[in-house]
C-alpha cells in the first residue's frame, strides 16, 4: 500500500472540512485528530468516539473515493505501531499496578503521560517548528495568548521564552481582553494562540481579530483543525489524551520545551547574555531563597 496515501487523505479532509455538513465535519475532524485510533478501532467504536453514526463514516469513505469504509481505513493501519505505549509493559509500571488500586491509577497516569509525550514528539512537525522559529524571529512583536488551563502553558512559554525572544508579550494584560491588547498590533506582528478542545471562545475570537488585522497566526493545539474561520500560518499539534477526565498537558509541555530549545539555539550569544542578565538581576534583588548559614 502506498505509504503516502494516509497523509494525502488527511490533507484532503483538511481542505474540504469547511465545506462539509456538520456530521461529516465532525467525522472528518475525528479522523484528522486521531489517525492512529481510526486505523485501530472498528467502525462502531469510531462512530461512538466521534459522536456520529456509522452511516456518516461510510458516506465519508464514499465521498473520499473509496469503494468501502474498510478501504478508506486501510492506509491508517500502517501507523498503528506508533500508537504503542512509550513505557510498554515496563516492569516498574507492572509493579505499581500490582500494588493495589492507588498503584494502578498511578501506573495508568504515568504510562499515559509518557505515551502522550511520545505521540506528540513523533509527529512529523520538525519542518513546521523550523518555520515557526523563522516567523517568530522576524516579527516586530510576538503576542501570546491563552486562558484557563492553557494559560499555564502560555505563562511558562513567556517566562522562559522571552529570554531568547525579547519581542514576546503575554496577553491579556491587566485584566483586559486579548483583543484590547491587540489594538495597536500591525501586520508585522505575530499572535501565538494556545487552546485545546473545548476551544476557548476568547482565544478563538482573539485569533480571528488578529487575522483581520493582518497578523500572522500560530496555533498550538490538540488539532490541526480548530475553527473553519481560522487560517493559521502554522499549527503545532500536541496529544492531550488522558487517563482522567481532563486533558493531559505533558505532550504540549514537551512541544513547547522543544520550541524554546530551538529559539535558544537560534538566539545564540545574545540569548545566553540575556539569560545571564536575568540571573544576575534576580540574585541582586534576592529573588531566590537560601538557607541561612549557621
Task: Identify the pLDDT of residue 80.
Answer: 52
Q: What CATH number is given to the structural domain containing 170?
A: 3.40.50.10490
Q: What is the C-alpha separation between 42 and 25, in angstroms, rounded?
A: 20
Please indicate, yes or no, whether residues 175 and 263 belong to a single structural domain of this protein.
yes
Segments of the chain assigned E as strands: 142-145, 168-171, 190-194, 216-221, 234-237
User: How far is residue 178's CA from residue 202's CA, in Å, rounded to a whole number?
Assistant: 8
Q: Are residues 239 and 156 both part of a single domain?
A: yes
**Strand 142-145 with 190-194, pairing:** parallel
pLDDT category, 41, cuts 50, 70, 90?
confident
Confidence class for position 37, pLDDT limits 50, 70, 90: confident
**Domain limit, last residue, from 48, 66, 82:** 82
Buried b / exposed e over 149-174, threshold 16 CB at 10 Å, is: ebeebbeebbebbbbbbeebbbbbee
Confidence category of residue 141, pLDDT binned at 50, 70, 90: very high
Asked, for residue 264, whether it belongs to a domain, the answer is yes
Which residue in this structure is represented by grid cell 525579547?
A: 166
CATH number of the domain where residue 73 is located: 1.10.10.10
Query: In whole angstroms, how large is the CA radius of gyration of the chain?
Result: 22
74 and 216 both lie in a single domain: no
In a domain, 29, yes or no: yes
**Which pLDDT does position 154 carry in this prediction?**
98
Give me the percent of the chain exceeding a pLDDT of 70: 94
List C-alpha distances in Å: 167 to 161, 163, 193, 204. Answer: 10, 9, 16, 22
Looking at the structure, tell me whether residues 203 and 264 fall in a common domain.
yes
Residue 177 lies in a domain: yes
Question: What order of strands is seen across the sheet that includes strand 190-194?
Answer: 168-171, 142-145, 190-194, 216-221, 234-237
- Distance between CA atoms of 85 and 189, rounded to whole angstroms? 40
Number of domains, the chain = 2
Highest mean pLDDT among 76-90, 92-106, 180-194, 216-230: 180-194
Residue span of the structural domain in which 142 resides: 126-283
pLDDT tens per residue, range 92-124: 888 998 999 999 999 999 998 998 998 899 887
In this structure, the answer to whether residues 64 and 159 fall within a common structural domain is: no
Amino acid at each position: 500500500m502506498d505509504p503516502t496515501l494516509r497523509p494525502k487523505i488527511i490533507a484532503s479532509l483538511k481542505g474540504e472540512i469547511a465545506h462539509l455538513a456538520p456530521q461529516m465535519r465532525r467525522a472528518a475532524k475525528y479522523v484528522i485528530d486521531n489517525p492512529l485510533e481510526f486505523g485501530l478501532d472498528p467502525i462502531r467504536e469510531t462512530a461512538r468516539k466521534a459522536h456520529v453514526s456509522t452511516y456518516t463514516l461510510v458516506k465519508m469513505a464514499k465521498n473520499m473515493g473509496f469503494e468501502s469504509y474498510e478501504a478508506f481505513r486501510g492506509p491508517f493501519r500502517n501507523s498503528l505501531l506508533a500508537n504503542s505505549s512509550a513505557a510498554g509493559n515496563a516492569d516498574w509500571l507492572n509493579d505499581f499496578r500490582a500494588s493495589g488500586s492507588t498503584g494502578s491509577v498511578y501506573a495508568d497516569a504515568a504510562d499515559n503521560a509518557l505515551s502522550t509525550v511520545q505521540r506528540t514528539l513523533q509527529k512529523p512537525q520538525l519542518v513546521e517548528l523550523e518555520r515557526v522559529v523563522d516567523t517568530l524571529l522576524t516579527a516586530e512583536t510576538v503576542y501570546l495568548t491563552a486562558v484557563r488551563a492553557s494559560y499555564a502553558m502560555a505563562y511558562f512559554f513567556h517566562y522562559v521564552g522571552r529570554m531568547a525572544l525579547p519581542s514576546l508579550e503575554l496577553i491579556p494584560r491587566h485584566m483586559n481582553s486579548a483583543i484590547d491588547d491587540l489594538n495597536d498590533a500591525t501586520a508585522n506582528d505575530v499572535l501565538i494562540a494556545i487552546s485545546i478542545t473545548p476551544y476557548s471562545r476568547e482565544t478563538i475570537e482573539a485569533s480571528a481579530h488578529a487575522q483581520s488585522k493582518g497578523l500572522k497566526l500560530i496555533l498550538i493545539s490538540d488539532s490541526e483543525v480548530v475553527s473553519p474561520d481560522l487560517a493559521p500560518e502554522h499549527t503545532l499539534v500536541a496529544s492531550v489524551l488522558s487517563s482522567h477526565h481532563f486533558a493531559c498537558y505533558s505532550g504540549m509541555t514537551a512541544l513547547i520545551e522543544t520550541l524554546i530549545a530551538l529559539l535558544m539555539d537560534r538566539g545564540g550569544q545574545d540569548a545566553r547574555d540575556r539569560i545571564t542578565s536575568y540571573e544576575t538581576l534576580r540574585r541582586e534583588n534576592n529573588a531566590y531563597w537560601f538557607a541561612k548559614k549557621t
